[in-house]
Chain A
């Protein structure tokens, strides 16, 4: 084992894949000479050349569209949006091109691209730089959606995403980049669609992903003091979804809280809640509860932003409500 940051773990994953397969390229804003604003691709351009690590102009729709075309020709682009919020000017290549190309052509082509996009609240970046937009992507058939939390997961999953033949949206939480954690030495892959139990428990299942995994763990530690044993299930990828893991956990604990940082309305928690209620109703001892951001614009001031998205105490409260304690 070794201890590295989440951003370094992603960097290692990218680096190993660049070395392994010359068809893997990286493109986006400031990924080349500067090596990405979080230093994730630092030194890559020097090592692999400007033809494989490409600094693009600020033309998100253009370079995402190019990535689709290159991917249809067998290149495996890892394209970066500096903030997921920028998908607002560049959604067509993802939702109408990358996602649909395989189906519309009757299976003739694949679009093996990865869209890396940092997201997340908590950095006081206000309305246009703080959103969690995973449901934009889960709503579009043809896309896979990955939201890693730990350094170990981030590295294993980025490698799986690059090797996957479908377009994968890889959403990194900006506030996890600096987290230093233990990861295995050497190469390893974590397959997409495999959830991970980050804490075992028997009283309630907290289903979550990305940074909220850590908040759920904090909440679970707090709840343990009061004799409540919470299981924390990190989905890691939303599409494909590890339903088996959800089913097993729910059948064990019979109580569910779903936690995510994106806004509650039409959030992925609603989808999960519906699936659990439809298929596991008889297993439930109580209604499924959701903890998510308020249905407002991400605010700037710290007081407002902290009130906007879930924190551990919100999860504790929700768990107690569900368990009637």
Chain B
């Protein structure tokens, strides 16, 4: 992280995005433990730098598809934490009116084409979004976000291959946290990295430190510019660590203590905070931004708690755009 080249404002932006995600996720673990959240919660604690760095490289008008572990990416793309929290609590004020929950948060107006509960399924959707931009002659870039495990889905190959053949404006952002639930990527894959598969498609591929938001930002920015100029897709693989288990309640006993401890020294937020101090930013300024952000998340929780659950009558709405009543009835 050597750079005087980034403004204080930009550095703060990276930091605030990361702590916004961290505080958001920590609140979820707290409320899940209290039994106040429904379903499953997959947090992205430890992976915040990937989200903060990658989304900073996108324009507001660009698109992403996120994963089941997508809260961080979605927040980094600009989602309102209040509306998002409300969705995670299944409230009618949420992004999806309580119909989607954690794995399906979307805000199309912000370019968030949805998290996804099916591993790898967002990859061809992002490529389809890129195809739409090409057909319309507009210059948005679409970013497919996926984990290391999703790279072993067939649609990863199909989607990367087609986007490479047709030079579609897409970036494949791999969040490599080494685990698909309990299975280590190296026990099921014969390459050291996911990015080296890029060779097979004749596209650029790079592996970066996914716990350094600036490193992520710089590589994704290159890939975004490359795509926007019409050169086609790239793979950017970010090496990171999922601090919690696959979902809340998973103690992740399949990972060794030593490896976990090694990664705990690489916490993206602790490290970046030290970096800010080294850059000459005053402690009180950092504390101030932390307090503001904590308050934002506390407010989001309050908003979610105060919001009503959807009315029972909502169960049959929004299935179809046209002729909904008849199609739902029979």
Contacts and interface: CB of A to CB of B under 8 A. Distances in A.
Contact of A65 (B124, B130, B320, B326): B124
Interface in A125-148: 141-142, 144
A120 B59 CA distance: 48
A72 B131 contact: no
Nearest to A97: B121
Interface string A218-262: 000000000000000000000111010000000000000000000
B330 A69 contact: no
A69 B121 contact: no
A109 B96 contact: no
B316 to A, nearest CB: 10
A96 interface: yes
Contacts of A72: 108, 113, 125, 128-129
A192 interface: yes
A68 B125 contact: yes
A71 B108 contact: no
Given A107-B317, A144-B320, A243-B330, A70 B118 contact: no
Interface of B: 63, 65, 94-100, 104, 106-108, 113-114, 116-118, 121, 123-136, 142, 154-155, 157-159, 161-162, 165, 317-323, 326-330
B323 A102 contact: no
A249 to B, nearest CB: 16
Nearest to A63: B162
B135 A104 contact: no
A228 B133 CA distance: 59
12 contacts: A57-B158, A57-B161, A59-B161, A62-B124, A62-B158, A63-B162, A69-B65, A69-B131, A96-B121, A102-B321, A105-B95, A108-B96
A165 interface: yes
B99 A103 contact: yes
B144 to A, nearest CB: 9
A152 B115 CA distance: 42
A298 interface: no
A93 interface: yes
Interface string A104-128: 1111111010000000000000000
Nearest to A165: B321
Nearest to A27: B131
Contact of A66 (B117, B128, B165, B329): B128
A110 B133 CA distance: 17
A325 interface: no
Bin the interface of chain A by size: 35 or more
Residue from the set A61, A65, A71, A141 with the largest chain B CB neighbour count within 10 Å: A65
Nearest to A105: B106
Contact of B322 (A62, A103, A141, A164): A164
Contacts of A52: 135
A70 B128 contact: yes
Contacts of B94: 106
Given A69-B125, A93-B121, 20 more contacts: A57-B161, A59-B158, A63-B158, A65-B124, A66-B127, A66-B162, A69-B65, A69-B127, A70-B128, A70-B132, A72-B125, A74-B136, A75-B128, A93-B124, A104-B104, A108-B96, A141-B319, A141-B328, A142-B319, A239-B330
A241 B330 contact: yes
Contacts of B130: 69
Nearest to B101: A104
A51 B133 CA distance: 11
A75 B322 contact: no
Contacts of A109: 106, 108, 113
Nearest to A100: B104
Given A57-B161, A72-B125, A65 B98 contact: no
B246 to A, nearest CB: 20
Given A61-B158, A105-B104, A67 B135 contact: no
Contact of B323 (A57, A97, A101, A193): A193
Nearest to A113: B128
7 tightest Cβ-Cβ pairs between the two chains A and B: A69-B128, A62-B158, A65-B124, A73-B132, A106-B96, A106-B97, A69-B125
B323 A192 contact: yes
Contacts of A216: none
Nearest to B126: A69
Interface string A86-99: 00000011001100
B84 to A, nearest CB: 12
Contact of A102 (B65, B127, B318): B318
B318 A51 contact: no
A275 interface: yes
Nearest to B104: A104
Given A104-B96, A106-B96, A69 B318 contact: no
Given A57-B158, A66-B124, A74 B132 contact: yes
Contacts of B132: 69-70, 73-75
Contacts of B118: 92, 96-97
Contacts of A65: 121, 123-125, 127-128, 155, 158-159
A165 B165 CA distance: 29
